[in-house]
Amino acid sequence: MRTIRTCALVVAGVVATSGFAAACGGSSDDEAKKADGPVTLTWWHNGTTAPLKDVWQQTAEGFQKANPDVSIKVNPIQNEQFTTKVPVALQSSNPPDVYQQWGGGQLATQIRSGKVMDITKPLASEVETIGSAAEGWAVDGKQYGVPFSLHIVGFWYRKDLFEKAGITSPPTTIDELKADVDKLKQAGITPIAIGSKDRWPDAFWWDYFALRHCPTDTVKQAMKDVKLDDPCFTKAGEELKAFLDIKPFQKGFLGTPAQQGAGSSAGMVANGKAAMELQGDWEPSVMTALTDDKKLRSKLGWFPFPAVEGGQGDPDVALGGGDGFSCTTKATTACTDFLKDILGPDVQKQLVSSGAVSLPANPAAASAISDATVKDVLSYSQKASFIQTYFDVALPTSQGQALNDAIANYFAGQGSPAEIGKSVE
């Protein structure tokens, strides 16, 4: 999320270039203006199910109570729709006042519309509190958004199903993971669930194989150059093909959604229909809404993506990112005040205690984490030698989408390992 052809930013593996604001829009003139009277904020977020939907509704109501002149029109939107709805909205004359934002190259691309607000000054204190994690929402030294939660991708697994298959401990190498897939199959259990209908879950697999095969500096440079031409990226595709060949996923995985309904990949693990899933730290909260099993949390375990034999990448490098929000230039200071409220310890702790968020952006809210498994994820993230932002977010929007499409096609049996890397060119 490099010196790129259009815009650049500061994020994991990214270096901002000078002169960005002039080329891509977004200046001090875009900062929020004070309102002369009552204000209505239109808020787009991806909390379509409990508990996140409920917490965001309570947050909006609490802010309105404390600010009687502000009304918030809450508009929950399915996660996958943001990639199309936000660009269209930013080209219109009436974009939302505050919208969900994942930073990186996507944000850099959106800034070119001239409608993303520079919030550097009003959010300076909050950005300092968040620390380096806020860099993913900064472009050319200016802040255009802030994260409310941080993410790490790894394997969520059912401890009861592992035990049934005779697996005594999580795998630490790909060879061990392959062996566990075989054990689960022999026990009549679907080893791994994946929501390939939504395409982005496929990318997690290729991204991680790339991080295990490519030296960290090579990945960072590739993000800056927007060029994945090092042989290690082709090797990642070859390694992925070898894994796909053992058929680790559920039947019909290409048509399975990631998070929608009990039949989704998240729902399969939640209801004991599959043993594990490669997903972000947010997945337990998604699973909870897709099952009646009140003891689900106690049945879940977590482990990082395994090491790859012969890989030149650091096995301690993690894949991750975060969820955040940006204000548009149509908004008033009410928008930046609202972001301050979201980043405050009260809302942040509520997000964690409700299970809506696993890893809060505000360090002060880490004390609210009670789930032992989530604490393991937090500990891993703190010890990781480097956290690479998801490739599709790290890259500019069009290149990131091209990469995801190439990976999804590869899962469907189309293309070659070399063609995946070439897709961003």
Is 27 contained in some domain?
A: yes
132-169 per-residue burial string, b: 16 or more CB within 10 A, e: under 16: ebbbbbbbbebbbbbbbbbbbbbbbbbeebbebbebee
Q: Which of 203, 122, 120, 147 is nearest to 11 (CA)?
A: 147
pLDDT tens per residue, range 86-118: 999 999 999 999 999 999 888 988 999 999 999
Q: Which of 321, 102, 79 is nearest to 198 (CA)?
A: 79
Is 80 contained in some domain?
A: yes
Is 331 contained in some domain?
A: yes
Give 133's pLDDT tier (boundaries 50, 70, 90): confident
- Cα–Cα distance, 341 to 325 (Å, whole number): 12
Residues 277 and 175 in one domain: yes
Is 251 contained in some domain?
A: yes
Is 49 contained in some domain?
A: yes
CB 133 within 8 A of CB 381: no
Residues 265 and 372 in one domain: no
Q: Which of 11, 224, 25 is nearest to 104 (CA)?
A: 11
∠100-101-102 over CA atoms, to 5°?
135
∠130-135-141 over CA atoms, to 5°?
120
- Cα–Cα distance, 425 to 423 (Å, whole number): 5
CA distances from 272 to 154, 198, 280, 293, 342 (A): 18, 21, 19, 10, 35
Residues 267 and 415 in one domain: yes
CB 101 within 8 A of CB 137: yes
Residues in the chain: 425
Residues 173 and 290 in one domain: yes
Is 2 contained in some domain?
A: no
Is 303 contained in some domain?
A: yes
CB 316 within 8 A of CB 193: no
Residues 28 and 76 in one domain: yes
Residues 146 and 165 in one domain: no
The tokens for 214 are: 């490519």
Is 15 contained in some domain?
A: no
pLDDT tens per residue, range 351-381: 999 988 999 999 899 999 998 899 899 889 8
SS3 of 206-241: the string is HHHHHHHHCCHHHHHHHHHHCCCCCHHHHHHHHHHH
Residue 379 identity (one-letter amino acid): S
CATH code assigned at 346: 3.40.190.10
Residues 265 and 378 in one domain: no
pLDDT tens per residue, range 281-326: 989 889 998 999 999 999 999 999 999 999 999 999 999 989 999 9
Residues 162 and 235 in one domain: yes
Q: Taking the alpha carbons of 321, 15, 143, 361 in that order, is the dihedral positive or negative?
A: positive
Residues 189 and 112 in one domain: no
- Cα–Cα distance, 47 to 55 (Å, whole number): 9
pLDDT tens per residue, range 219-258: 989 988 999 999 999 999 999 999 999 999 999 999 999 9
Residues 201 and 323 in one domain: no
Residues 161 and 214 in one domain: yes
Give the count of domains, the chain: 2
Report the pLDDT value the prediction gives residue 21, as an integer from 0 to 100: 34
Residues 248 and 281 in one domain: yes
∠50-280-160 over CA atoms, to 5°?
85
Range of the domain at 47: 20-151+319-386
Residue 264 identity (one-letter amino acid): S
Does 9 score more than 70 pLDDT?
no
